[in-house]
Amino acid sequence: MAASTRGITKSLLPAPKTRAAMAKRLAGATPAMTTATIAEMEERHPWFRALDADYRSWVGVVARAGIDGFVTWFSDPDPEAPTTTDIFGAAPRALTRKITLSQTVELVRTTIDVVEAQIDEVAPRGDRPVLHAAIVGYSREVAFAAAEIYARAAELRGAWDARLEALVVDAVLRGETDETVLSRASTLGWHSSGGVVVVVGPAPESESTQAVESVRRSAGTAGLDMLGAVQGDRMVVVLGGSALSTPEFARQVVSRFVDCFGAGPVVIGPPVEHLMDAVGSTREAFSGYRAAPAWPEAPRPVESSDLLPERALSGDGHARRALARDLYDPLVAAGGGLLDTLVTFLDQGLQVEAAARALFVHANTVRYRLRRIHEVTGYSPTDPRDGYALRLALTLGRLRR
């Protein structure tokens, strides 16, 4: 045997025959110890009193197995660490779902307290120091065994939840969100009834599960629901919450966990009203993610609407129509020379004076019209990036007409 027997040094350990005799004397008191343990549990813990009779009975079985296990373990000539099967194997697996780990620790602590008290009553004075030392070491191993059971159960639940979450995310992205998918999302903690944003970026270089959980914690801190999954070389995050109706808030939240993605662009789709409508945000987010390499200087994260020029050039029909509809058509409808002023200003290299000479108007008139263009379209012709989008919108608008 090793230099110590789980808390008892070898110099204090009695001979095997002596230990067997001590265990035999203690075995006669095990029924009384079990009864006293159950009574003590009733006295100490309200959660135990609230259990159904069946579960209280199973707790008694576990307590008796633990006490009998101690006696058997102590009497063994070469005792090893107690196994989970010896102690918890008699109870159904459902018990781990009914009793938490902290409650199991309370069960172990109460049982040990009762056993120690019984040792002082039934064991000869000379046996007590060794038995007390042995019960302390044994209880430690029982606690480790309980932790192992709950850890395995948590791993199984976590693996199942991860697979279920991946299925839900896949259904949402493909636009197949029906009542069944919504029910599964609710099981995973999704409670949002309004405001949904899809975010896509490179898969994390580290453990994907840890990255998804880090995103979940950040989203939870912001008061948002979250579903996430790694799909091949990309990670997809679905956020839910009424505050996401404003793109600025979505960008702020994503900025908090953007480092959880791998190296590369992280694109935020536009907000939609409900999880069943998330396919619209998905389409734009994925389109922006595919086109993002054409704008390596883009901020991280970047909104899909900021990538409209790149998306249009990469073949996204929605982006082409959006540029023509939201930029070109309003300028045509506004009149007042805005369209001609924009074309001339862009052709003259963004020079106000040169545009004024070409148009035969005062420079202040050009400046006023440029401000009006900004008001009408939301894009400023004096900004190089906005000017690029406006130039492309002019081309697409003309082609469409």
Is 108 in contact with 138 (CB distance < 8 Å)?
Answer: no
Q: Are 10-155 and 179-302 equal in CATH topology?
A: no
Q: What is the mean pLDDT of residues 89-114?
A: 69
The yes-or-no verdict on residue 162 having pLDDT over 70 is no
Residue ranges of the domains in the chain? 10-155, 179-302, 317-400
Rounded CA-CA distance 131/109 in Å is 16
Supply the CATH classification number for the domain 179-302. Answer: 3.30.70.2730
The whole-chain average pLDDT of the chain stands at: 81
Q: What is the mean pLDDT of residues 320-333?
A: 93
Rounded CA-CA distance 369/346 in Å is 13
Rounded CA-CA distance 352/363 in Å is 6
Residue 1: its pLDDT value, please? 37
SS3 state at 235: strand
Residue type, 260: C
Residue 13: its pLDDT value, please? 58
Place domain 317-400 in its CATH homologous superfamily: PucR C-terminal helix-turn-helix domain (1.10.10.2840)
* Residues 224-256: tens digit of each pLDDT: 988 888 888 889 999 988 888 888 898 999 999
Q: What is the mean pLDDT of residues 79-83?
A: 57
Span 10-155 CATH architecture: Orthogonal Bundle (1.10)
Tokens of residue 19, six digits: 């230990």
- Give how far Cα 195 sits from Cα of 213, 272, 274, 282, Å: 21, 6, 6, 14
β pairing state of 196-202 and 234-240: antiparallel
Which string of DSSP letters, residue by residue, matches 251-264?
HHHHHHHGGGS-SS
Q: What is the mean pLDDT of residues 338-361?
A: 93
Mean pLDDT is highest, among 102-111, 184-193, 244-253, 315-324, for 315-324
* Residues 1-42: tens digit of each pLDDT: 333 444 444 445 566 777 777 777 777 778 888 888 888 888
Which string of DSSP letters, residue by residue, matches 128-175?
HHHHHHHHHHHHHHHHHHHHHHHHHHHHHHHHHHHHHHHHHHHHHHTT
Residue type, 249: F
